[in-house]
Structure 1
Amino acid sequence: MAVDDALIGIAADNGSHASRIRLCEEARRFLTTPSNDLALICALAGMDPQAVIERMRKQIAEAPSPEELAGDRKGNRATKNKRKVAPPKPKDKPEPKLITHNGETLTLKEWSDRTGIGQPTLTNRMNAGWTVADALTIRPGQAKRRAGEALRAKIEADVAERQRRRRGPNRVLTYNGETLPLGEWATRTGLQAQTIAKRIKNGWPVERALMVGDGRCTE
């Protein structure tokens, strides 16, 4: 879990000392830096991303450094050092946020009372990039489906990107008057994109580089 990795470190049996430091630092950056991924996760969990970021920044400031956490060589995660901190100074109460929709301007609480949608939910939606109209009108059931669709779309995009990378470099070859990316020729011929690229690099003509086992290029 990213919170555990950021605050108490990586278990000593999970990689080298340097990799444990790197993973701890990556977890801390993810939890303290605004991003679409963090906003999406917080929206699904019903949490305010900015509140999560502020809380994690405070806890990380009080936690041992990644180097200290990675120093545990006994197979157990390092124990967080307890430090005394001064009580926070009282802050001035912020002015209520005003939101305008359909020509009407109300506070967040007033919109929450009118729509029946909780204030934390409205805040999370807006922090996640929702339009004011969507945030104030989409019901919880619809929002859950929307979040699921967004997550599925992200996963599909990640899968497509990994497949594109596996197909090889984005180089194009022309054969028989047809120009296609190297990955497309690999799919068509059944050869590995790396094999075709290596043949071209070694000076093979295109028609020979695209030959399969029987000596012919698959059309």
Structure 2
Amino acid sequence: MIVIIDYGMGNLKSVYNALKSLGLECKVSSSEEDIKNAKALILPGVGAFKDAMDNIEEKSLDVLIKSEVEKGKPLLGICLGMQLLFEKGFEGSEREGLGLLKGNIVKMKDDKENNIKIPHIGWNNLIYNMKDELFNSIDEGKFVYYVHSYYAHGYDNKDLVAYSEYGKNKIAGVVRKKNVIGAQFHPEKSGDVGLAILKNFGELIK
């Protein structure tokens, strides 16, 4: 069972529908019992870093998530959910994140000379930094769908699995530190490539 963590912000239904289409057993929940009994967790997210962390801490989900990760349970953060895995976010004001990955979340750089606009909305190809089972059967250069204005900076390069280039911005597309995984793009909106990534995530718990 994969539990999609409901903390009041996130693209819950589309993630749920994507997992169900792959035949993966899943549910949306914020229940401590469900999260503890899950074989893997997904932390989705749409919105602002500070608001998301406020909601997570208000429900004491930060302590619960960290406890389950320490046990070795796979955790996948999607979009804002990935950003929350890092140490701090600087969207509006400085706010501590979950601190499961080294690095901060900062605003992307404008590049008007090359017509690069923020927010970054659209399809970009993935460049591999290292081999990872999340990309089994997926060729390098495939396109995925991004919607964001902030990105990871100051991360540990050995945690970087794949990235995309958007103007002067090197976007950490997928990061991983053991069982902690993040995808800045939306796998559930990235067609067959995104579904293949979610399927490979599901393979981690078999």
Larger Rg: 1
Q: Same fold (TM over 0.5)?
A: no
Query: Greater share of helix residues, 1 or 2?
Result: 1
Higher relative contact order (CA 8 A, sep 6+): 2
TM-score relative to the length of structure 2 = 0.23
TM-score relative to the length of structure 1 = 0.22
